[in-house]
């Protein structure tokens, strides 16, 4: 995985990142967006597009946000997401790391 959506996206879901992603690897959960690690091509176009600065490069991830690396990967795989987030229906759930956070 190259880029990861983190907690600053919870309850925001601006979706600007989806518009910039050339491979359509960003998928909507109920409260947060998720990047599919097998589809991301490490281009970095999503990061500056995110107004909440929720996207980080995996290799420069702040230590307190490291759990989101596994959360993104686990969630998209559990949901069976593949082939493009723009056409995907939002999941009616999120990874437990997200669901345990209080709504904003």
10-33 b/e (C-beta count within 10 Å ≥ 16 → b) = bebbebebbebbeeebbbbbebbb
Residue 1 has pLDDT above 70, yes or no: no
Tell me the two tokens of residue 85: 């987030």
State yes or no: pLDDT of 104 exceeds 80.
no
pLDDT score, position 86: 87
pTM over 0.85: yes
31-35, 68-72, 74-78, 82-86: segment of lowest average pLDDT: 82-86
The mean pLDDT of the chain is 94
Enumerate the domain spans of the chain. 3-82
Residues facing 55 on adjacent strands: 5
DSSP tally for the chain: helices H, then strands E: 4, 4
pLDDT tens profile 70-81: 999 999 999 999
CATH topology of domain 3-82: Alpha-Beta Plaits (3.30.70)
Q: Are 95 and 83 in contact (CB under 8 A)?
A: no
């Amino acid at each position: 995985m190259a880029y990861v959506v983190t907690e600053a996206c919870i309850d925001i879901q601006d979706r600007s990142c989806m518009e910039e992603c050339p491979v359509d690897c960003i998928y909507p959960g109920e409260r947060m967006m998720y990047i599919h690690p097998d589809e991301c091509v490490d281009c970095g176009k999503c990061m500056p597009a995110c107004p909440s600065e929720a996207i980080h490069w995996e290799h420069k991830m702040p230590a307190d946000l490291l759990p989101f690396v596994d959360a993104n990967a686990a969630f998209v795989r559990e949901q069976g997401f593949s082939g493009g987030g723009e056409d995907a229906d939002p999941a009616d759930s999120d990874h437990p790391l997200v669901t345990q956070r209080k709504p904003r």
